[in-house]
Structure 1
């Protein structure tokens, strides 16, 4: 891709903010949950939606597959992965479900997962253990802990499972945990999986577009990541990577659609109303059409990458500028907000948890004094804070009650500046004061 001219560059910060369609006065401090995309990408999205409406059958049956291949190619190049290994689906949760529900489990086979797994994925593991012979093993810990400690706990879990006469089949772990927003040593965990002959399934929901990824070097068994969170692609869109060595394990999409190839039976023929394939693999064809949806977001990956290539900061351009700016801003934001609140940022001794676009800051609220040491009350306080932020302060900040404390997850992004987080820190200070006065229980109704 040619380097953009100086006139077409976009400076990270206030200049980049002009390219987004947030409502006037709204401060988006929670990019991590649902992402957002610039106006240039919105125009491409709507173009494809218009094309689908102009000639539905022509577009969906014949044009869409070709455009989809271009998006897959753009994402494969971005991730340094073979084109044959990349397909698109709606979100990371669907990808994790696809892996877990596709594998065939034998008695005494175990799924290993970590305590900070995304809730929907943990529930999927529970479903699998209820409906198949598989069992699960949850690795417990509390952040912040050193990466070496986490790796040791993983190896201990493997030894424990094996000593019980069981077989570790699959391990699920994140690139970056959702809540709290911390980076996991996913590359080292992947290597341990290889050493112990365990399938690695990486939930990279917060990976693509946030941290550099080289899937050829990483070489996981399964990897899925949302493009709509950090790559500036419209919702919902995710990349799903399965190397050719494992594609035979993923026989069905969710839901099962026309690309599924049943075990041959005499006389059994199932009609497929779609145009015949064009030499693509069974794996790629399987994911090409999974029911009727608005798949226009899938086609916006090239446009998002083109827009990102225009971003600049301190002499850096494109992806290098984005990573440098957002990670610098996340660290700076954590320091500013924790300073305003008089608390601390969640980090381990090595400083690896914060090598991403998140900072987690503890709120100055006492579990004992303000929630009566009751976890249920603590959760209610968290919900109250979230609602107040949206209804009265025109923002949202992700909050989690974790390890007997409330933490906010700050999301940095190219359209934000440190001034936004200075404001956010003051808002949190005010809201926490309202909590301490008991307003969350309805005892006080006036805003301070």
Structure 2
């Protein structure tokens, strides 16, 4: 038991255990030797040593379930929260764990008490992550006319100043229609397309306009240098399992103390909830002196949350094996952008960026235009696909990349064109992007010849 619960830093790694990025670092991860992981941004991954540490916690729980879950787990969780709070430069009492960023967004939106004068609006961008945008749609549906949504359409490439202008214009339009822009949700880095958003300026505008800011930082910790005390959003959620090498699913929800009274319940509601009218149902877990907010999120139903406990070990891996956050981010940002350009050169296309290159600045994701045309007729020298086959062709290409190339790259149709999104990560190197370019070129040529139609006919 003692060995399994030993959480002192340094028990896993030596003081000097740096490993070069690229193929040497790849050995630290659990991928099949034939699989090339170019889509880190969707589900992340974690080193073998973190897997082993999590297993120790699982074993400790199985040795003595009640003592571990009721008494040891809360202490370990507090240490873990303190570790990630330091990385985010946030007070530890403002940081709790949730399973994923979608849960974080749902927790915030479902806890807001909408005004009864039927004027509240939630603002969000057309590139919002689907599940989060659907949460806004759901709230509007359930609450009827109490709260409505206002989508801000984005077309790419777009300059940051133009995006901010559209945001300000949406606020003005909301008020001009007699509505109250109550909350705005926006990304740090959007999903598809995978581009950096000016979330710092958007947060500032929300403060100036008296609007609650909800930052979907799914691509946040481990991806961007974050300082939540300086940013000071009203709500911020970020996945630790995407870029921070923590096992799935693990995310952080940051709520400054001024807004914690608004977060009445977890999703789902559990033992930590305290009804304003009092409750005859007691909390069966040991009492503590933590804030109502922290206590609320400490235990949310019985589930394996040992992944929350290994965040300090992931931090240690990143520091001692990788050389620290700055080294990791600099490598991944540069690899994504230069690797994307190399792929675009092979394909004869371009990456998605604006004139000031802010879409790819400090970003581990890159979007590359595919050499495919949407056209009802063939065009000489072009890979053409009929508009009616757009969805079928897209899914076929993704599946064929798995079947024939042992990889996965998100392919999506956006603003009349096909794009792919690639991820920069410390276990990849430039040659992997050159390989990706050749694979994409081959799959686009096959799609242009209509190979996907043969599969569709068989189905």
Q: Is the CA contact 1:98–1:254 (under 8 Å) kept in the aligned structure 2?
A: yes
Counting matched residue pairs gives 435
Which of the numbers 329, 335, 341 marks the counterpart of 2:341?
335
Structure 1 gaps, min length 5: none
CA–CA separation in structure 2 for the residues paired with 1:7 and 1:58: 36
Note if 1:91 corresponds to 2:100.
yes
Which of the numbers 25, 35, 42 marks the counterpart of 2:34?
25
Aligned to 2:79: 70
- Residue pairs, 1:155-174, within 5 angstroms: 155-174=168-187
- Residue pairs, 1:113-128, within 5 angstroms: 113-128=124-139
Deviation at 1:24, TM superposition (A): 1.3
Structure 2 gaps, min length 5: 1-8, 378-383
CA–CA separation in structure 2 for the residues paired with 1:311 and 1:53: 30
Note if 1:363 corresponds to 2:370.
yes
Q: Is the CA contact 2:16–2:320 (under 8 Å) kept in the aligned structure 1?
A: no
Aligned to 1:53: 62
Kindly provide the CA deviation profile for residues 329-349 of structure 1, in whole angstroms up to 9, marking residues without a partner as x: 001111110001001100011
CA–CA separation in structure 2 for the residues paired with 1:31 and 1:444: 29
Aligned to 1:296: 306
Kindly provide the CA deviation profile for residues 354-412 of structure 1, in whole angstroms up to 9, marking residues without a partner as x: 120011001101111433233xx212211111111111111001121101111100001
CA–CA separation in structure 2 for the residues paired with 1:56 and 1:202: 36
CA–CA separation in structure 1 for the residues paired with 2:40 and 2:232: 28
- Residue pairs, 1:14-413, within 5 angstroms: 14-106=23-115, 107-132=118-143, 133-264=146-277, 268-276=279-287, 278-312=288-322, 317-355=323-361, 356-368=363-375, 369=377, 370-374=384-388, 377-413=389-425
TM-align CA RMSD: 1.5
Which of the numbers 410, 414, 425 marks the counterpart of 2:426?
414
Aligned residue for 1:15, secondary structure, equals helix
CA–CA separation in structure 1 for the residues paired with 2:307 and 2:411: 28
CA–CA separation in structure 2 for the residues paired with 1:95 and 1:76: 16
CA–CA separation in structure 1 for the residues paired with 2:295 and 2:212: 24
Aligned residue for 2:298, secondary structure, equals coil
Moved more, 382-391 or 186-195: 382-391
Kindly provide the CA deviation profile for residues 217-239 of structure 1, in whole angstroms up to 9, marking residues without a partner as x: 00000000000000000000001
Q: Is the CA contact 1:224–1:241 (under 8 Å) kept in the aligned structure 2?
A: yes
Q: Is the CA contact 1:10–1:310 (under 8 Å) kept in the aligned structure 2?
A: no
Which of the numbers 439, 445, 450 marks the counterpart of 1:427?
439
Deviation at 1:114, TM superposition (A): 0.4
Superposition TM-score, scaled by structure 2 size: 0.93
Deviation at 1:271, TM superposition (A): 2.2
Q: Is the CA contact 2:385–2:450 (under 8 Å) kept in the aligned structure 1?
A: no
Kindly provide the CA deviation profile for residues 69-114 of structure 1, in whole angstroms up to 9, marking residues without a partner as x: 0110000000000001000010000000001100011211000000
**Structure 1 residue runs of 4 or more that deviate by more than 4 Å after TM superposition:** 4-7
Aligned residue for 2:71, secondary structure, equals helix
Q: Is the CA contact 1:259–1:286 (under 8 Å) kept in the aligned structure 2?
A: yes
Q: Is the CA contact 1:311–1:322 (under 8 Å) kept in the aligned structure 2?
A: no
Aligned residue for 1:42, secondary structure, equals helix
Deviation at 1:7, TM superposition (A): 4.3
